[in-house]
Amino acid sequence: MKYAIGIDLGGTGVKGGLVDENGKIIKSLSTKTSKVNKEVIRAIADLINDLKTDLPIEGVGVGSPGTIDYKEGKVLTIGGNVEGWIGMNIKKELEAIHPNLKFKIDNDANCAGLCEMWLGAGKGYDSALAITLGTGLGGFIFYKDHIIRGARYRASELGHTILYPNGRLCACGQRGCTERYVGGTGLEETYFEFSGQRKSGFEIMESFKSDPYAKMTVEKFVDDLATATVSFKNFFDPEVFIVGGGVINSSHIWWDDYLRAYQEKINSFDQMPIVKAKFLNNAGIIGAASLILNEYE
């Protein structure tokens, strides 16, 4: 039996797990981190120490926000909310602390997508396109056992496609990026534009039936997500389209309307299935471990 450690770096913390070759998490831990780059590296290294057991470990896979140079293990752009994360060579830093372990680093949405292709909603398909709806919008493109990363490792940055030309300013420097409208932060901004008040994404969904501004916000979210999905589909035409991420927890409110809006917007000959991800909280851990266990290139 082979084993690997999978690390999932989030906005406020790090999750990790010891995963076997069947995708089962044997042991899992999490910790909060600061937003300082070196302290985040230290937190990841300490988590790896805590996850190690007497079992033989093939290596460690790490899923990180940002555009990741997969070969070098380095963050190129859009490094999330960690100070100094852009330019950080995660692989080199961790190898210096754990010289006897093999490391592979990839984008966090790619890792979540790999989990779905291995064990979840994408299992059995040759091609897939997946998005993760969280604070922003992550993307994943897969074709015949390969992640499509692009010449500069930006092929899956679907959250930074343009939905509204000259729209809201994005942290990446562009205006009108899809994730500024479809995602937790975009949802909150839309609500503020409608109401002049602030609510969290969770509060907006919870008050959908009682707050008219929340209803308007969710309706716009659905329409924007459907529009973006049409563009994504027509650009790649995958066998299956997978939607995951934390926002899926509220999908009982908006999922059917989303599918209906998509069908109204797409070409009449479309037959692409749209499905929910099967793994949510653990997808990043399992997918990161699969970088080692399945040797994806």
Res 198: pLDDT: 97
| Cα(50)–Cα(29) distance, integer angstroms | 8
pLDDT per residue as tens digits for the range 240-265: 999 999 899 999 999 999 999 999 99
- CB neighbours of 216 closer than 8 A, spacing ≥ 6? 194
Q: How far is C-alpha 256 from the geometric centre of its chain's CA atoms?
A: 22
Chain segment 125-181, per-residue pLDDT in tens: 999 999 999 888 999 999 998 999 999 999 989 999 999 999 999 988 999 999 999
Say if residue 79's pLDDT is above 90.
no
With cut-offs at 50, 70 and 90, classify the pLDDT of residue 6: very high
Q: For the whole model, what pTM was predicted?
A: 0.93
Choice among 34-43, 75-84, 151-160, 207-216 with the minimum mean pLDDT: 75-84
**What does the pLDDT read at residue 280?**
85
Contact between 284 and 108 (Cβ < 8 Å): yes
Instruction: Report the C-alpha gap between 30 and 240 in whole angstroms.
Output: 32
**DSSP for the chain, written as a single string:** --EEEEEEE-SSEEEEEEEETTS-EEEEEEEE--SBHHHHHHHHHHHHHHH--SS-EEEEEEEESSEEETTTTEEEE--TTSBT-TT-BHHHHHHHH-TTS-EEEEEHHHHHHHHHHHHSTTTT-SEEEEEEESSSEEEEEEETTEE---TTS-TT-GGGSBSSTT-SBPTTS-BSBGGGTSSHHHHHHHHHHHHSS---HHHHHHTTTT-HHHHHHHHHHHHHHHHHHHHHHHHH--SEEEEESGGGGGHHHHHHHHHHHHHHHS-TT----EEE-S-STTHHHHHHHHHHHS---
Measured distance CA(202)–CA(220) in Å, rounded: 16
pLDDT of amino acid 297: 58
Q: Which of 79, 68, 230 is nearest to 149 (CA)?
A: 68
Residue 246 — φ and ψ, nearest 5°?
-60, -30
CA distance 48 to 25: 14
| CA atoms of 9 and 107, how far apart (whole Å) | 10
Predicted confidence (pLDDT) per residue in 18-30, tens digit: 999 999 999 999 9
Tokens representing 81 are: 């909310």
pLDDT tens sequence across 96-109: 999 999 999 999 99
Distances from the Cα of 174 to the Cα of 122, 218, 224, 294, angstroms: 31, 24, 18, 35
Residue 11: what pLDDT? 74
Nearest to 178 by CA among 235, 122, 253, 250: 235
Confidence of residue 270 (pLDDT cuts 50, 70, 90): confident
Residue 101, CA atoms < 13 Å, CB-side half-sphere: 27
